[in-house]
Structure 1
């Protein structure tokens, strides 16, 4: 477990600083107690990290569930009732895992996955611009275009530009400069600069700057632009921050509906994140998806039992882990312990970290996810890849994550249907008007109902008094829908004086009376 500790320890520090404000921000956006976000982050790191088969994935509260949580707390009559739904969601995820439902994630096109990563990268950058300039008090976890305070992503940016806080902006640029200097120059100068990560130095610089300028009205940083961790006065007050599920609400059907919704959405987000992080991983590790569902389900049961938000594997923290050199699951586990220790021992110190410094860290993360080279690469692959990619990116930026993924997938399916109709792979006309009206038509190896339109169009366009040579020797699978089309065409051919020659692996048939009977008798598979 400690084989890659030299890489995992500095990466865990970066993930900790990225996760801390996100846990608090998502809790705020969800209308839940702030401490619930920290609980979910701790459980996601320690419990899920220990059970997961992912070497680089990091779990915690997810922005994609914030709207569901916000609505459910009000609908179910309180946070304790909602926690029952979180526990039920975890149990349902365990069922998904045992039923081996993890394979679902593999059915999403690569263009949609890349679009998801790029869209999230753009959102990270856009959402952190106001924090960088020390203006927006909107929660960091609010990743939807239309925000909980009635503003939208771009209106907040325009307001930030017109209401710049000098102190936050100065330390934001200092932090960004440290990060760029560290990653581009100093990290190549020696082991010390590889062990001590730039984000840690930037955060320390931010704390020092706050203490040096906290009496200054011009260069100081207001409290709303600092990290805000709950600070208990004693151990009893610390324990009082935990909430527990009210299991008397388990008979409420709405609790079960919310639980199933959480399980479904959290599982989908997790599986997509697993697919995305495996693509980002430079070492190309493959995460066992069914085991991941079992780990996530266990984590949600733990989180719900002690007052935490629902958990998923999350791309922002996972990508920060990868980009910081994380090699094994120890990075995620250690970051969970850092969250736990910090909220117990040093909450006051954490509350001196400027949000603009953390925004600078997230700028780097967002840029690495949404590199301009990715757009060029996808454009070069052609419109079949470019269109689903761009739809996913735009809908994620201007709507939200789940809508973007759904629309990207829908466009991907439409592209497949269009290409199937155009029959470039399923139907091949070898030549027409050859040898006194002979037309040769070859069916592909697999022909399904997707190809009905293309084949029907070609058959209907055959001229009268022609001679069709239909070659099915390469065809290993022929859908019954296609056989019925051929059967109907056999009757139409007589009326149009079209002669049919059917060539198969069993021989040649002139003007078959029944395609259905012929293909029932035809061997399903031919040996090499």
Structure 2
């Protein structure tokens, strides 16, 4: 089977994604005001179902921090979690419709600089927000905000020791040992770090100087029997189908989740070493089915997420098998080994994310963008600053706005090229080459150029390369022809192989033979 072709790389990657996803599933659920088990349900559905249906080879789906505020407010506004689940199901149906009507094309209109800025910003946020856990802080970690206040009062020697050892394992294992012997590539470094972390906790962390509290460990619900396990699933309240608040919530979740998914798809595709392209409409349908099923059995909303997708790529994943296996591992762990999972120090998982965060936002990335010039670097750095100081969606919109302004400015100045020809002995001779597209945006610089011409000049306007000429430009050229006549400026208009000396014939020529006019 094609899915199993790269299992030797996908299996180790799935373990890394599992260890990254597990605490995030629980943390996002708690921050959203939902039951912790709801985050695990979303992680399971996002991994297995969405992973299978998706056309992405390396993208990973699950509960997303970008929806935390929306979910939290929605649960409060609707009054119950059961009503909220109905909204999640409807949101999934809306996403399916968006995919059917091919709305996935929206993702292609985000500039590369903005996507790269998003990746770096997420890397910075991941790195900074793991610092509290790395030092032993036991509070909630919100991946949408950076807040290190109160950290100095929470420092725990045991957590610091585990962080140092875990980081050493991660860096030495992949950076040195794996390069010297292939055997070290067979076992993922994060798995070794987790095992060592559990051993340290059991040996030294239950009491004394290196003691870790329960809040500094992974917390997975432990069912006593099958009945208690099944009791963790929550069914939606379909009586809410008559409540307009549910539909408003559903529409909000669908739009935000779809946008975050499309952005993550763009980012994941850029990280893919094989540069495969994810079919965005299929992705929206897959996400919609996933959200409907998640809501049906008590899970919170799902999107494709950059953090888990990045961990997947950087761990060597090649196909969607990795995402599917990580979902299966979540299910197996919750059923079979919840007690063992609850022995994992959060400092170990923080160490894994510190490495991932640094790779996403490495200084090398900033240097490369700077070398590409202002047109790329300005939207990039504005996106980074916007996301870090506000939130993911606001920061992206800020970066997109700046990117559009840069494009408009570039278009503003690139509409034409003025050449000064040799003086024929009597008059100043000017030649202007126009670009393929000349629109109303370019009217300003063209006016400035033509209005600055000296009296008694000879002007050649060359439109042979132009394919689109706005009506505004034609209108201005008509007006300029009158001014030129009064200032003794002779104009020759060149289009294709013909030379047109009369402005009216110029207008007819472009209107009916060569150009597409925009009125």
Give me the TM-score of the superposition, normalised by structure 2: 0.95
Residue aligning to 1:148: none
Which consecutive residues of structure 1, in runs of 5 or more, have no partner in the other structure?
Answer: 146-152
Residue aligning to 2:420: 431
Q: Find the aligned partners of 2:277 and 2:404 in 1 and give their Cα distance.
A: 26
Residue 9 (structure 2) pairs with residue 18 (structure 1): no
1:113 equivalent among 112, 115, 140: 115
Q: Find the aligned partners of 1:393 and 1:118 in 2 and give their Cα distance.
A: 7
Q: Find the aligned partners of 2:253 and 2:445 in 1 and give their Cα distance.
A: 41
Residue aligning to 1:326: 317
CA contact (8 A) 2:166 2:351 kept: yes
Residue aligning to 1:245: 236
Post-superposition offset of 1:432:
6.9
Post-superposition offset of 1:495:
4.2
Q: Tell me, what secondary structure is at the counterpart of 1:185?
A: helix
Of stretches 324-333 and 502-511 in structure 1, the one that deviates more from structure 2 is 502-511
Q: Find the aligned partners of 1:60 and 1:483 in 2 and give their Cα distance.
A: 54
Residue aligning to 1:137: 139
Of stretches 361-370 and 215-224 in structure 1, the one that deviates more from structure 2 is 215-224
Residue aligning to 2:90: 88
Residue aligning to 2:204: 213
1:290-329 aligned at under 5 Å gives the runs 290-329=281-320
Residue aligning to 1:53: 55
Residue aligning to 2:495: 504
Residue 512 (structure 2) pairs with residue 521 (structure 1): yes
Residue 193 (structure 2) pairs with residue 202 (structure 1): yes
Post-superposition offset of 1:465:
3.8
CA contact (8 A) 1:487 1:514 kept: no
Task: Provide the aligned length of Structure 1 versus Structure 2.
Answer: 512
Of stretches 107-116 and 14-23 in structure 1, the one that deviates more from structure 2 is 107-116
Post-superposition offset of 1:433:
8.5
Post-superposition offset of 1:214:
4.1
Query: How big is each residue's C-alpha offset from its partner over 1:66-112, in whole Å with a ceiling of 9 and x where there is no partner?
Result: 11111111122221111122111111111111122222212111111
1:489 equivalent among 473, 480, 488: 480
CA contact (8 A) 1:98 1:294 kept: yes
Of stretches 40-49 and 277-286 in structure 1, the one that deviates more from structure 2 is 277-286
Rate the CA distance shift 1:319–1:348 in 2: closer, same or farther, 3 A: same
Residue 158 (structure 2) pairs with residue 170 (structure 1): no
Q: Find the aligned partners of 1:253 and 1:468 in 2 and give their Cα distance.
A: 65
Q: Tell me, what secondary structure is at the counterpart of 1:80?
A: helix
Q: Find the aligned partners of 1:85 and 1:459 in 2 and give their Cα distance.
A: 59
Residue aligning to 1:149: none
Q: Tell me, what secondary structure is at the counterpart of 1:500?
A: strand
1:396 equivalent among 378, 387, 391: 387
CA contact (8 A) 2:387 2:395 kept: yes
Query: How big is each residue's C-alpha offset from its partner over 1:369-418, in whole Å with a ceiling of 9 and x where there is no partner?
Result: 11111111111111111111111111111211111111111111111122
Q: Tell me, what secondary structure is at the counterpart of 1:522?
A: helix
Query: How big is each residue's C-alpha offset from its partner over 1:205-234, in whole Å with a ceiling of 9 and x where there is no partner?
Result: 111112112441321101111111112222
Post-superposition offset of 1:253:
2.1
Residue aligning to 2:345: 354
Residue aligning to 1:264: 255
* Runs of 4+ more than 6 Å apart: none
Post-superposition offset of 1:189:
3.7
CA contact (8 A) 2:32 2:68 kept: yes
Residue aligning to 1:71: 73
Query: How big is each residue's C-alpha offset from its partner over 1:256-289, in whole Å with a ceiling of 9 and x where there is no partner?
Result: 2221221111111111111111111112222111
Q: How large is the Cα RMSD of the aligned pairs?
A: 1.7
Post-superposition offset of 1:506:
5.1
Rate the CA distance shift 1:92–1:434 in 2: closer, same or farther, 3 A: farther
Q: Tell me, what secondary structure is at the counterpart of 2:79?
A: coil
CA contact (8 A) 1:59 1:312 kept: yes
Q: Find the aligned partners of 1:215 and 1:199 in 2 and give their Cα distance.
A: 22
Of stretches 98-107 and 57-66 in structure 1, the one that deviates more from structure 2 is 98-107
Q: Find the aligned partners of 1:78 and 1:382 in 2 and give their Cα distance.
A: 51
Q: Find the aligned partners of 1:462 and 1:136 in 2 and give their Cα distance.
A: 71
Q: Find the aligned partners of 2:479 and 2:31 in 1 and give their Cα distance.
A: 60
Q: Find the aligned partners of 2:144 and 2:313 in 1 and give their Cα distance.
A: 25
Query: How big is each residue's C-alpha offset from its partner over 1:319-341, in whole Å with a ceiling of 9 and x where there is no partner?
Result: 11111111111100000000011
Query: How big is each residue's C-alpha offset from its partner over 1:151-170, in whole Å with a ceiling of 9 and x where there is no partner?
Result: xx2443xx324531011111
